[in-house]
């Protein structure tokens, strides 16, 4: 609750948007969508927060399809926008084009997947993105084994199994969107 109240202050201060947070204790995707959609006449937009993947993708998709107001999932799109700005700045500093960068993601949840998609929309090559989760590199063989969901499968690599450490060898960018303390100085 304090996080959303803080964001509400930012919305008011920088965009003069009045907000209040509504917290729903609903685990079922369809029930969550129905409850949120029922509130549509009250709001000018919806800012989703702290909804875990993969449910967040389906919730956002359904709400965008069914509602006539903007729907924004902060964990995905807020992270992607801020990280994208940093990527553009860093590429400019080292005088590299985005399509030249080898990018590794530590984490393959909602924020990582949305950020990777955003990087591609900015000009990064999808084939230059390596996505890692707690089991290592997201590979086509892991998809075939049913080890990853359809959202992670979007960034599956046609390579042998490997770790985050393997993926980082020679990389230009590490997007750390996972738990802390998993990358060593080496």
Within a 10 A sphere around the Cβ of 133, how many other Cβ atoms? 19
Q: Where exactly does CATH 3.40.50.10380 map onto the chain? A: 2-69
pLDDT at 55: 92
Look at residue 7 in the predicted model and tell me its pLDDT: 86
Helices of type H across the chain: 2-15, 29-38, 55-66, 79-93, 110-122, 140-144, 150-153, 164-168
List every span in the chain annotated with CATH 3.40.50.720. 77-176
Assign residue 47 a region: left if phi > 0, alpha if psi is -120 to 50, beta otherwise?
A: beta
Cβ-contact 152, 138 below 8 angstroms: yes
pLDDT of residue 185: 75
Give the three-state DSSP class for 97.
Answer: coil
The pLDDT, as a whole number, for residue 159 is 87
Write the CATH number of the domain with boundaries 77-176. Answer: 3.40.50.720
Positions of the chain with pLDDT under 50: none
At the fourth CATH level, which superfamily is domain 2-69? Malic enzyme, N-terminal domain (3.40.50.10380)
**Amino acid 11: pLDDT:** 87
Contacts of 106 (CB under 8 A, 6+ apart): 112, 132, 164, 174, 175, 176, 177, 178, 182, 183
Catalytic residue ranges: 7
């Amino acid at each position: 609750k304090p996080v959303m109240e803080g964001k509400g202050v930012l919305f008011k201060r920088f965009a003069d948007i009045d907000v209040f947070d509504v917290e729903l204790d609903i685990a079922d995707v369809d029930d969550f969508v129905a409850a949120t959609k029922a509130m549509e006449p009250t709001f000018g937009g919806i800012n989703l927060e702290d909804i875990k993947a993969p449910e967040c993708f389906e919730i956002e998709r359904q709400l965008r399809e069914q509602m006539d107001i903007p729907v924004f999932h902060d964990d995905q799109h807020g992270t992607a926008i801020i990280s994208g700005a940093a990527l553009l700045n860093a590429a400019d500093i080292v005088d590299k084009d985005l399509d030249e960068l080898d990018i590794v993601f530590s984490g393959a949840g909602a924020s990582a997947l949305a950020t990777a998609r955003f990087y591609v929309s900015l000009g990064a090559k999808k084939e230059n993105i390596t996505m890692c989760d707690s089991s290592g590199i997201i590979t086509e063989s892991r998809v075939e084994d049913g080890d990853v969901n359809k959202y992670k499968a979007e960034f599956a690599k046609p390579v042998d199994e490997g770790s985050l450490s393997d993926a980082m060898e020679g990389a230009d960018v590490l997007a750390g969107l996972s738990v802390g303390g998993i990358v060593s100085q080496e």
